[in-house]
Amino acid sequence: MLDIKFVRENKELVKENIKKKFQDEKLPLVDEVIELDEKIRELKQKGDTLRQDRNTTSDEIGTLFREKKIEEANAKKEKVVKINEELVSIEKEETELSEKLKEKMMVIPQMIDDSVPIGKSDLENVEIERFGEPFVPDYEIPYHADICESFNGLDKDSAGRTSGNGFYYLVGDIARLHEAVIAYARDFMISKGFTYCIPPFMIRSDVVNGVMSFSEMENMMYKIENEDLYLIGTSEHSMIGKFKGQLIDEKELPIAMTSYSPCFRKEVGAHGLEERGLYRVHQFEKQEMIVICKPEDAADWYNKMWSYTVEFFRSMDISVRTLECCSGDLADLKVKSCDVEAWSPRQKKYFEVGSCSTLGDAQARRLGIKMKTENGNKFVATLNNTVIASPRAIIAILEQHYQSDGSVTIPKVLRPYMGGQEKIIRNLNN
């Protein structure tokens, strides 16, 4: 959410930003919030004048009573009553207009960084850099679900009976590989100086509204019936929410944390669920990183965070690339974002395995997260980044480490988490 003072002083700049995000339907909001802000400020000024008049009149009443001028004092008392009635009306109108202003301000997108490429959709995202060679072996690589099933490692049929489409059972070595990746991601981030945390997996609506836009919430979040609780779609939500309403001493910044959680998503929209595979599902597990820092340090943290994800995948001998998200692909609260994509030798293209975002003070304003400085209290900056989302990371490992005999080589860094096992071998009886 933008500062209304910024909108007031930079109306055309805010409108241009909306155009860059191809959300022209939101352009009228800028004039509407400025008009509402003007009315609110007029009401505040009128209220201040009335309160001053009431204080003066109250002093006069005391003087008149002391002078035994009872009739004049009572007339003044009637005036105070009328002032109070008018103040009640003004305060009510001010509250109503402030709520309308907040609702409209919540819809106006965050100002994007000047470096963000302009484009309508993810089709116009821009490749930044490749890490490792995108290779294609001289033998066929099966679909990842078929690889899993060849190890008796995936059961979506049973999950369909228990939970419906979009769920799955991981079994045996595939389940162990999944846990190994998550455990390694945890230790990798701890080695980078991040504090490990396991957060609540449900959050209240005020936190949801603080960390994401309404449209994102509708497409992602599962609501708990008859409760003001939502299942998290990523632990970033509860991790940023941890600091809701807090005043943090600037000496305590930056705060860098890495969190594990299961994640739950509706997957409503253009992409939908993946019927057979594991790429887009309702439930998965994730290791996340979040940073809360001074606004001036956000750019440096952004570059460090996405580079950690690249380093993590390269340590497993996974070829990846970074992709700059264009303006039309940025969620409304984001200032800048990039995806980390792994190479698929089967599809001969890259696919998303993680996303890094800097949100400026957007979430901090919504949640009231500030830092205490010598020059007063200021909003912090927030950032988040995927270390790993399983099972997408599993897909990358299975495809890039698939061997011609049908086995999968386990990356060396994961072997200690799998009891030293070096390969996953095909079940010949399958």
Residue position matching structure tokens 């890259």: 350
111 domain residue, yes or no: no
The pair of three-digit structure tokens given for residue 235, joined into one six-digit string:
């632990």
Residue 159 sits at the vertex; the CA angle it makes with 156 and 163, to the nearest 5 degrees, is 140
In a domain? residue 35: yes
* pLDDT above 80: residue 263: yes
Q: Provide long-range contacts, Cβ within 8 A and 24+ apart, for 154-160.
A: 154/278, 156/276
Q: What is the pLDDT of residue 62?
A: 83
Task: Report CA dihedral (146, 152, 154, 155) to the nearest 10 degrees.
Answer: 110
268 band by pLDDT with thresholds 50, 70 and 90: low
Whether 333 has a pLDDT exceeding 80, the answer reads yes
Mean pLDDT of the chain: 93
Please check whether residue 168 is in contact with residue 281, taking contact to mean a CB–CB distance below 8 angstroms.
yes
What are the phi and psi torsion angles at 420 (to 5°)? 85, 0
Domain holding 20: CATH number? 1.10.287.40
Task: Please check whether residues 212 and 305 belong to one and the same domain.
Answer: yes
- Statement: residue 430 has pLDDT above 60: no
Backbone angles phi, psi at 344, to 5 degrees: -110, 105
Instruction: Answer yes or no: do 283 and 138 share one domain.
Output: yes
pLDDT bucket at 337, cuts 50 / 70 / 90: very high
**Whether 309 contacts 385, CB under 8 Å:** yes
With respect to residue 155, please indicate whether it lies within any of the assigned structural domains.
Answer: yes
CA dihedral 340, 344, 348, 352 (to 10 degrees): -30
Same domain, 100 and 147: no
Q: What was the pLDDT predicted at 77?
A: 84
Of 170, 114, 26, 112, nearest in space to 330 by CA: 112
Indicate the helix (H) or strand (E) that contains 312: helix 298-314
Measured between alpha carbons, how far is residue 306 from residues 133, 286, 337, 408 in Å?
A: 19, 16, 9, 27
In this predicted structure, which of 53-67, 174-188, 196-210 has the lowest mean pLDDT? Answer: 53-67
- Residues 153-167: pLDDT tens digits? 999 999 999 999 989
Neighbours of 186 (CB within 10 A): 19
pLDDT of residue 91: 93
Of all residues in the chain, what percent carry a pLDDT higher than 90? 84
**What's the mean pLDDT in 159-179?**
95
Could you tell me the CATH number of the domain that includes residue 248? 3.30.930.10
> From its phi and psi, is residue 83 left (phi > 0), alpha (psi between -120 and 50) or beta?
alpha
pLDDT, tens digit (0-9, with 9 covering 90-100), for 342-390: 999 999 999 999 999 999 999 999 999 999 999 999 999 999 999 999 8
pLDDT band at 274 (very low <50, low <70, confident <90, very high): low
pLDDT for res 141: 96
Report whether pLDDT(397) > 90: yes
Length of the chain: 430
Q: Give residue 428's pLDDT.
A: 62
* Domain carrying residue 37: 4-105
Residues 83, 198: one domain? no
Inside any domain, residue 408: yes
